[in-house]
Structure 1
């Protein structure tokens, strides 16, 4: 911490102490937040606010000061004749940009039409021992922005807005579910198996129980146990962990909202999720039209519904139904000069191969909100098979701007069929497919006690925020993304 600027600031701190001023006061009573004060009428008196000094403009007998916090800022006026010589010079000699102050005064509007608080008294509330960065806005090293997110929040309006939007969005989602009589629940993060999704888990160790455990990749099988136990409409804000590659659309630690409704099917959920997205847009942005890639997208218009088979046929010219064997399907992609990078076809199931083909050829082309339906059964080990075509599932994904936002299905509730599918997944796992599901005997036991018809859904908060704010990377949508250790 030892640079010249810091030494000067520490000296100022010592001077404040010598003057008998409390340098770490315990509290300051405010009666308005900064964004509220900036809307007050001129002449409003006894206004008490506090914040961090972000700007100081000195003139001979007066000084304009800007104080701010995450939700807004306010201009203050410090006049020598109004606070007295001692307090005026004390401010200039001992306070710096970055320090915290509390002030009391009355509101007025300057000649340049800026709402301003005329300071009648002020109180020192905290010293910044480091100088705030001047070149933060031009900072090309994004790792520094993520590692020192507190500075990014102070200095960058885009970051402030996006992460405040996240908070508003979470509040709106929770309100939507609660208004529809869904109950919020919590399920374990530490689990013996990692089921509920196709992903590689993080593993950990429980010393007292002397056992290996995984951090959950999804809350799914525990939420379904609650349906067995008698809950009918539930949701969870679940921290999940997936030990997978870093990309602009993936986080290894993320927040998933997952929920289930007994007696519904996936078409009920489709309507419900559309209503939720429209509600969240309205509550968060006060509109259902948002700009994505420079074009306005009106979410209140009809959403397209397209099948997995049709979209792959459209963008690659391959009819996946003609190739029930993964090797034949692979040969067809080679014939069509579709390069899917270096693949280990021996260990990859047909479902994962089709998924890869879709992600490479189709998903980036989808911009408007689109429901993708009729996923192959090999891709959906926990979804219900379609009554008319058992090779596909009653499932949908909502895709917007090349990103999967919501994944949902009519759930598989037949324990015998579920056992068969998990056994197939376990075989894939033993052949080297790290993302295949494990056997989960405890969950199968719960299923054997009986389940009603169920539909469920899951979506990542960060992914949704990324799409709705048209962000280029998902790391911008979390307060403290994981960074490499220095």
Structure 2
């Protein structure tokens, strides 16, 4: 922090102090936000606003100043004859772009039709010791945008809009579930097992208990314990952690919304999720029509429903039902010159192999909202088997713009069958499939006390925002993405 410009700004700070000015005052009472003030009528007086100076256009006897925050900007007019020569000169001598001020004045509209506050008095609210970037070239500063997100928020309108959309989205999701009489709950992040999903966990150590723990990969089994305990409709905003590879669609730390309804099937949840997405679009973007990859898509129209088998058959020519053995399926993909680009493909169980095949060959083709159903049971250790075909599950995923944004099941509630499946997963894990699910005796004990029919769902906030805003990477959809330490 020893640049010449910083030294100059510190000198200005010392000068302000020497003049008896409080350089870091306790507060400033505003009566309008910046974006609200721009809608006030001309002549409105006693308007008090505050913000960061993001622009100064100076002339001999007046200056136009732009104050900004995350929600908007307001133009101010500083005139020597209205503010006094001393205050006018002090502003131009001691204040810089990046500083904070509070002002009081009255509204008017300029000749260029811009709502402006004529400053009658101002107070200093904080000095920026570093110079803000003069220009912001998004792509050429990608790492800086993530590493210093606060600068990105100041300088990049797209980032501001996307993060405000995230806040609106979270609010709308919570409101939707509450309106449907779901109860919001919280479950533990530190867990003895990594159950509830197929993913590699982060490990940690609890000193006082002298035991290894995992950061949760999903809240699923604890939410189901609540159904055992008597809750019937629950949901959670759950921070989850998955120690998996980097990609434009994955975060290692993300926010999952997961919920369960007793006495429902996955078809009930399918309707709920469609209603929810339409509600989110309306509340967040004021429309149900958005543009994805250049296509204008109206989400209020009917959504496609396609089976896992038919999708893979359509895009690869392989009928997965003809290959109950994973080695045979692997040989068939090689025969068709399909390279799945996996470092340890021989260790994968049939479910994860099929999932890899789908992700490599099919998923990117699904742009319009599509319900993918009838997943192989190998891929769904916690889902209920279909009554007509027990090799499939009563499950769906909502895929939009090549990304899975919602995953939902009719849940498996038979503790004997659940134990059998988890034992099979444990064998896969011992054979090197690091993403296979581990045994969870405590959860099985809860199941043995009895579960009603249940349907549940889960989706990531960041993934949903990425899809609905047509963003290139999921890192753009979290305020502070994890990046490598310098």
Q: 1:272 to 1:49 in 2, by over 3 A?
A: same
1:469, 1:395 → 2: CA distance? 26
Deviation at 1:139, TM superposition (A): 5.5
Match of 1:404 in 2: 404
CA distance in 2, matches of 1:138, 1:237: 31
Give the direction of change, closer, same or farther, for the CA distance of 1:138–1:192 in structure 2 (3 Å limit): closer
Aligned to 2:93: 93
Matches within 5 A, 1:70-89: 70-89=70-89
Corresponding residue SS for 2:9: helix
Q: Residues 149-168 of structure 1 correspond to what in structure 2 (within 5 A)? A: 149-168=149-168
CA-CA distance at 1:228 after TM superposition: 0.2
Kindly state the Cα deviation for residue 177 of structure 1 after the two structures are TM-superposed: 0.2
Q: 343-352 or 18-27: which moved more? A: 343-352
Alpha-carbon separation, structure 2, partners of 1:331 and 1:483: 38
Q: How does 1:351-430 map to 2 (within 5 A)?
A: 351-430=351-430
Match of 1:475 in 2: 475
1:54–1:97 contact (8 Å) kept in structure 2: yes
Q: Following the alignment from structure 2 to structure 1, what is the Cα–Cα distance between the partners of residues 310 and 208? A: 53
The equivalent of 2:13 in structure 1 is 13
* Other-structure match for 1:48: 48
| Conserved? CA contact 1:384–1:411, under 8 Å | yes
Residue matched to 1:325: 325
Kindly tell me the number of residue pairs found equivalent between the two proteins.
486
Counterpart of 1:234 in structure 2 is: 234
Q: Are 1:475 and 1:481, in contact at CA under 8 Å, matched by a contact in 2?
A: yes
RMSD: 0.7
The answer to whether the aligner puts 1:349 opposite 2:349 as a matched pair is: yes
Work out the CA distance in 1 between the residues paired with 2:388 and 2:365.
Answer: 29
Q: Report Cα offsets for 1:330-368 as digits up to 9, x if no partner.
A: 111111111112453442100111101100111000000
Distance 1:71 1:135 in 2: 20
TM superposition score normalised by structure 1: 0.99
Q: In structure 2, what is the Cα distance between the partners aligned to 1:41 and 1:295?
A: 40
2:57 matched residue in structure 1: 57
Corresponding residue of 1:39: 39
The answer to whether the 8 Å contact 1:137/1:155 transfers is no
CA distance in 2, matches of 1:68, 1:344: 51
**Structure 1 regions of 5+ residues with no counterpart?**
none
Residue 458 of structure 1 and its aligned partner are, at CA, apart by: 0.1
1:166-245 matches, within 5 Å, as 166-245=166-245
Distance 1:353 1:17 in 2: 67
In the alignment, the residues of structure 1 paired with residue 106 and residue 156 of structure 2 have an alpha-carbon distance, to the nearest angstrom, of: 29
* Structure 1 residue aligned with 2:461: 461
CA distance in 2, matches of 1:308, 1:137: 42
Which residue of structure 1 lines up, in the alignment, with residue 256 of structure 2? 256
SS in structure 2 of the partner of residue 140 of structure 1: helix
Matched-pair contact (CA < 8 Å) for 1:327–1:345: no
Give the 4+ runs in structure 1 shifted more than 4 A. Answer: none
CA shift for structure 1 position 97: 0.2
Partners in 2 of 1:14 and 1:343 — Cα distance? 60
